[in-house]
Amino acid sequence: MEKILNKIIDNNRYLIKEGAVADYIPALLKANPNHIGICVMDVDGNIYKAGDYTEKFTIQSISKVMSLMLALIDNGEDQVFKKIDYEPTEEPFNTLFKLDFPHTIKPSNPMINSGAIVTTSLIKGEGEERFNRLLTLIRTVTENPNISYNEEVYLSEKETGNKNRAMAYLMKSRGFIEGDVEDILDTYFKQCSIEVTAVDIARIGLFIANRCKLSKGDRICDNKTASILTAIMATCGMYNFSGEYASTVGIPSKSGVGGGILGTIPYKMGIGVFSPALDQYGNSIAGYGIMADLSKELNLNIF
Ligand SMILES: NC(=O)CC[C@H](N)C(=O)O
């Protein structure tokens, strides 16, 4: 298996040159574009790794899966989806304009920034408590107590995240979110700056594949939550590339502009891929190639 993973990595390395590391968050420009790593964990406890799986990167939008998990634990499905829709969008992850349409009453889905900001607002807690609860959940699910956030990336996002700020204030003015906007944004920027490795995100994928059960068998949330997270990842997780990705790869996945892709195959496996150069959608360009090859090689397409 490790031979297969190494071969897949090598076959996709050339793609790095066709992408670019995210630059709209200045601190992300420091990422080494040549890093490329993968970790696969199956429900039988096997763990396979190849390439730069020990390298840390910021979780970015992959955190949206975890904030949705916590918002669902805190509020239940009905309350969460009163405030955010379930529907994919053809707009990019940082789209804003539809939030001002007179008939719009909520963001399209929890995987685009506007929906994720609402999701974060639904996590229970005041000030720092929201972030700390999310970090605790991520440490629990990854079974890695050392996970923390990157202060430099957080401050960089906070300084330059004016479109996210615009979205949040627009949504506040239209009554889509409640609470202190700066507080909610602070949690959102911090959650995006949490540092993980391919191994950590594979573990999140495995946890969801195991219907929200930890390796020792403890259940953190219910089966329905696992279904919702998997469905939202499959339909919205790769932004406005989600339809093509579902067809070509067929693995419910979530990407982040840090270069990570988290994959989950129900009852089967969790996958973590990392390579920081991105394509036009903001998905890891080599990561996509790796997921496509892995899916073919191991026959993982769930559709
Ligand atoms: N697509 C992403 O990973 C976006 C996350 C990033 N922190 C942002 O808000 O713009």
pLDDT tens sequence across 218-233:
999 999 999 999 999 9
Per-residue confidence (pLDDT) for residue 72, from 0 to 100:
98
Residue 1 Cα to ligand 1 midpoint, Å, equals: 33
Amino acid letter, residue 282: G
Same domain, 104 and 128: yes
Provide the domain count of the chain.
2
Question: With pLDDT > 70 as the criterion, what percentage of the chain qualifies?
Answer: 100
At 150, the pLDDT band (50, 70, 90 cuts) reads very high
225 within a domain of the structure (yes/no):
yes
7 within a domain of the structure (yes/no):
yes
Residue 184 Cα to ligand 1 midpoint, Å, equals: 15
Per the annotation, the verdict on 267 as an active-site residue is no
Q: Express each pLDDT in 239-279 by its tens digit.
A: 999 999 999 999 999 999 999 999 999 999 999 999 999 99
Per-residue confidence (pLDDT) for residue 37, from 0 to 100:
98
Same domain, 202 and 165: no
| Ligand 1 neighbour 257 (Cβ under 6 A) | yes
Domain region containing 207: 2-57+196-298
Of 78-82, 88-92, 213-217, minimum mean pLDDT range: 213-217
Same domain, 76 and 162: yes
74 within a domain of the structure (yes/no):
yes
Per-residue confidence (pLDDT) for residue 217, from 0 to 100:
87
Same domain, 203 and 281: yes
Same domain, 98 and 26: no
Q: Express each pLDDT in 65-74 by its tens digit.
A: 999 999 999 9
Same domain, 150 and 80: yes
Which ipTM score applies to this complex? 0.96
Which residue in the list 48, 149, 154, 239 is annotated as catalytic?
239
Per the annotation, the verdict on 188 as an active-site residue is yes
Same domain, 8 and 104: no
Closest approach atom of ligand 1 to CA 189: 7
Per-residue confidence (pLDDT) for residue 120, from 0 to 100:
98
Same domain, 162 and 215: no
| Ligand 1 neighbour 113 (Cβ under 6 A) | yes
- Residue 71 sits in a domain whose CATH number is 3.40.710.10
| Ligand 1 neighbour 27 (Cβ under 6 A) | no
Residue 88 Cα to ligand 1 midpoint, Å, equals: 17
Q: Which of 172, 192, 212 is the last residue of a domain?
A: 192
303 within a domain of the structure (yes/no):
no
Residue 258 Cα to ligand 1 midpoint, Å, equals: 8
Same domain, 77 and 180: yes
Residue 127 confidence (pLDDT) above 90: no
293 within a domain of the structure (yes/no):
yes
Q: pTM for this one? A: 0.97
Per-residue confidence (pLDDT) for residue 126, from 0 to 100:
87
Closest approach atom of ligand 1 to CA 256: 3
17 within a domain of the structure (yes/no):
yes
